[in-house]
Amino acid sequence: MKSKQITTEDKFNNKWGFVISCIGSSVGMANIWLFPYRAGEFGGAAFLIPYIIFVVLIGFTGVIGEMAFGRAMQSGPLGAFKKAYEMKGSKLGTFIGLIPVIGSLGIAIGYSVIIGWILKFLMDSITGEIVSKEDPAIVFSELSRDFGSIPWHLLGLFLVLLCMSFGVARGIEKVNRIMMPAFFVLFLFLAVRVAFLDGSAPGYSYLFKPDWSEMANPRTWVYAMGQAFFSLSLAGSGTVVYGSYLKSDVDIVSSAKYVSFFDTLAALLAGLVIIPAVFSFGMEPNSGPGLLFITIPGVIRAIPFGRIFAIIFFLAVLFAGITSLMNLLESPVEALQKRLGWSRRLSIAFVGIVTAAVGIFVEGGLLSAWMDSISIYVIPLGALLAGITMFWVCGDKFARNAAQLGRVHTIGKWFKPMTKYVFCGVAVLVYILGIFFGGIG
């Protein structure tokens, strides 16, 4: 039986389906459990200013570049890098293209474990146990111990793979069209409720009261750069593969603008929900899983109708997690389809088995080290290689024409210096400083 490969029909239906899917890929744990903490740690509004500067800079260079790279090559990273280097008579592209694919799969392996944790807390919210019986700290301790969440881990992964099995337009795009608007609506509802909590005012000060001295602190700029870079999902993988499913009449520059805006809005919205709620109950803001699975459930237990708010919160977080994990897994799935000619469902099954098997192994006390290693050494390297390949190897004319396709207005003279020099320079800094600081995003 002949394998069914990706066809020209298996693309996003239109610009908004593509934009919403890219927003879904970028809105994830970095927005929810890291951004609010970073903002407060580095001077509130004093952190927001460099963060927004880097979001604009990276959104109008790196995001555009990865979208255009995928569409121009009509392939995900493995095929895109191969074609780019073949244009220069080199066979290095296949090897280089493996790096972002491996990075995407590596992060997906760890992310699938976290999706399992979210599912468990959502189920406990639905049953009411998280607000009436169980201590969230004990539940999370049991989940995060060695091999403590295998059933939930596998269930979460299965749900994501099931959504992906319906294809690009009927699977990825449709799921994002439902989950991303729902995420914003649910978090907006929670933000309004939190604003009425007694004692929430210090939380807003923590987030938005500027400590201008922090702007003179180089670490503020380093971590703002890292937060923007990782939050926008630059890795030379997921955005490239989504770009390959994009029709030629879509304006990529405009699309990148919307993705950057809504990703930033998601981070701010998460901050408006989480930090004031934490301050309202006299708890210390922290980053990482502890914020999501211990501190926030502790807050929710003390709120009237806490069970309802717990369901809303973890459902919204689950939506963000699922849409991000779909993007991460799509890169290796697409590579198998294009490289080996496998059917989509066979590719998904194979990637799912690998993700599950390695994920169970990683559950044995290796999750934190695994995620740190991939996010520090592999993910930013993939983004850097994509930038170098698109803006240097393919050349100025190719890059400009790829980004201009589908756009009515001519891209300005800013494009070459900002992409070829500034973005690639930022990518080098992110990679080097990430290693130096042990992670900056």
**CA pair distance 397, 405, nearest whole angstrom:** 12
Residue 15 main-chain phi, psi, to 5 deg:
-60, -45
pLDDT for residue 303 = 80
How many helices (H) and strands (E) the chain has is answered by 24, 0
Token pair, residue 355, equals: 């993700």
How many angstroms separate the first and last alpha carbons of the chain? 45
Residues 6+ apart with CB under 8 A from 147: 360, 363, 364
Token pair, residue 201, equals: 């005012």
Kindly state the helix (H) or strand (E) to which residue 381 belongs, with its residue range: helix 379-388
pLDDT for residue 424 = 95
pLDDT for residue 3 = 38
119-145 pLDDT, tens digit per residue, is 999 999 999 888 777 788 888 888 889
Run means of pLDDT, 10 residues per run, the chain, 441 residues? 46 90 88 85 90 92 95 94 94 94 96 95 90 81 91 96 92 92 92 89 88 92 93 91 93 94 92 88 76 84 84 92 94 93 95 97 93 94 96 95 93 94 95 93 76
**Amino acid identity of 150?**
I
Token pair, residue 419, equals: 């992409």
- The three-point CA angle 354-355-357 to 5° equals 65
The model's pTM? 0.92
CB 328 within 8 A of CB 238: yes
CB 250 within 8 A of CB 22: no
Residue 49 neighbours by CB distance under 10 Å: 17
Which of 209, 204, 188, 198 lies closest to 280 in space, CA to CA? 198
Kindly state the helix (H) or strand (E) to which residue 74 belongs, with its residue range: none
pLDDT for residue 346 = 96
Residues 6+ apart with CB under 8 A from 2: none
CB 324 within 8 A of CB 175: no
Which of 279, 241, 319 lies closest to 44 in space, CA to CA? 279
Residue 239 main-chain phi, psi, to 5 deg:
-70, -30
